Amino acid sequence: MKSQPPLVSTELEVPVVSLRDGTPPPPEVFQSLWDSLAGLSWKRQAFGVAREYPLAVPCMNPLQSMVTDSGPTLELVTSPATSISRIALQLDDLQTEARAALEDLGYAMLGCAVHPRLRAVPEEYYRYRTPRASYDYAIEQRRWNHWSIVHIASVQEVVDVELADAVRVMRLLHRLAGLMNFLLRNDPDLDGQYGGALSIRPQAWRDHVPHSGLFAADAERVYIPGREFSSWRDYLSLLWEQGAMFLIGTKDKGLAYVPQHPTFMRFLKETPDGGWPAKTLAGEEIRVVPEFAHVTQTDWTYMGMARIRWKWRDSSIEIGAFLDAWQRDDIEAFLAANLEKVVVENRCNSTQPPGENLASLALVTGLITNLDQALELAMREPYSFWALVLEASMTAPFDSTVADRPILVLAREMVDVAREGLRVRGEVEAERALSSLYARIDDRCSYSERLLRDYRSGGVERLIKRLRI
């Protein structure tokens, strides 16, 4: 019997603009959107709506959802599926429903990765942001400039992976982040805040956390790691041993912090009598005794260009058994015995233009499926080279070279590797999603370059007309 291919999913963010003048919607517009959708097949959640998907396969989260995150963007989340073509059907339905509800409110979605009428400054952030206590904590306690990403939209590609392959996949995605950005960038500097850069998202992420002081290690939790990791222990050390721990709880629930700001491992190992003095994000003083559930919740605290998400079989494991495995440097065997599922979430790519929103999922899925050949490409150059490519992808033309390596040649080879991976998966329809990427390579022009020209010649009106979904 043929085994089921690894599941895939996507989380597509799109800027929302007024049909009257392109301005962003304030939070109350999204509240009206949730109210209108909740009257249909959706159920309200804290930051949006969700519903059960009748064709869902067993997975970590079978729900479809529409939510907001940092700012006036709508995030459409599909239920994981066995093929990209099934994701395409879901995404079409989600966009159709969202489009109708937004148009009734006088708004529309755009297929671009930067909001054309929103500046990344504190006053506009506080007017248009999605209020979340976790972000207030990051700003007030850790001195994050969270407003730097309020106007940015991205797409996350989510792919099931084997435990043994997870770190190899992470190395691949971190190394190729810059090459993918060259090919998929759709986030130019429209208002000149970044000196006319062709891609603002990587810099905005890199610069919105402190790089000195008590929370300097936060810089290693965004962008790509300064030192490449090569094992599960390297990756988990970044989460648990390097720098002050983040919040206790999930991104939205049970959130508290320890004012002493220990590392996560110190939090587990050196618990004071009666537990750690802590504060909830509502300001209540509490005491927290570490539990294994705190370990299971730490996967979301890494926010780099790619990350691992997991599901554990049992959250009631004794902390002592976990710490013993860590001390004996036997953590991978511990993971193998206790993890039910591992997925990798790629986070480096821009939201794509209308009609091309599955190109990045096809690319990333193909690369992960054809992992050995993809790694052959990625390991051909040192990690330092790929860091230079990522840096260059923010400002350099697509038709350029980095350390005498032509970006167009590398991009074509990357897409060829992905196409072979899609053939292995039997994704005939998804292969066509790569055609837009080949077209960009043939044209020697990324979408950011085209978008910036359109904006300069026709302003917001022309941009909305071209990119309205």
pLDDT confidence of residue 2 = 55
pLDDT confidence of residue 46 = 86
Show the tokens assigned to 150.
């309020």
- What are the helix (H) ranges across 176-272? 177-184, 201-207, 232-240, 264-269
256-257 and 276-280 strand pairing:
antiparallel
Residue 1: inside a domain, yes or no?
Answer: no
Residue 80: inside a domain, yes or no?
Answer: yes
Ranges of the chain with pLDDT below 70: 1-2, 250-253
The secondary structure of 154-223 as a DSSP string is EEEEEEE--HHHHHHHHHHHHHTHHHHHHHH--B--SSSTTTT-SB-HHHHHHHTS-SSSTTGGGGGGSS
- Using a 10 angstrom Cβ sphere, with 0-12 exposed, 13-18 middle and 19 or more buried, the burial of residue 307 is buried
pLDDT confidence of residue 1 = 41
CB atoms inside a 10 Å sphere around CB 162: 11
285-288 and 276-280 strand pairing:
antiparallel
Q: Note the pLDDT tens digit of each residue in 180-213.
A: 999 999 999 998 999 999 999 999 999 999 999 9
Residue 135: inside a domain, yes or no?
Answer: yes
Residue 3: inside a domain, yes or no?
Answer: no
What single letter denotes the amino acid at residue 2? K
pLDDT confidence of residue 250 = 61
Number of domains in the chain: 1
What single letter denotes the amino acid at residue 372? D
Work out whether the CA dihedral 343, 349, 351, 356 comes out positive or negative: negative
Residue 400: inside a domain, yes or no?
Answer: yes
CA distances 169 to 229, 346, 377, Å, are 11, 10, 13
- Mention every residue, 6+ apart, whose C-beta is less than 8 A from residue 104: 36
pLDDT confidence of residue 101 = 97
| pTM, full prediction | 0.96
The CATH number assigned to the domain holding 340 equals 3.30.590.20
Give the integer Cα–Cα distance in Å for 190 and 171. 32
Show the tokens assigned to 400.
């350029």
Give the integer Cα–Cα distance in Å for 176 and 442. 20
Residue 117: inside a domain, yes or no?
Answer: yes
pLDDT confidence of residue 199 = 98
Range of the domain at 242: 8-467
Q: How many residues belong to the chain? A: 469
CB atoms inside a 10 Å sphere around CB 146: 21
Residue 318: inside a domain, yes or no?
Answer: yes
Give the integer Cα–Cα distance in Å for 308 and 292. 18
Coil, helix or strand at residue 224: coil
Residue 303: inside a domain, yes or no?
Answer: yes
Give the integer Cα–Cα distance in Å for 458 and 307. 38
Give the integer Cα–Cα distance in Å for 116 and 36. 26
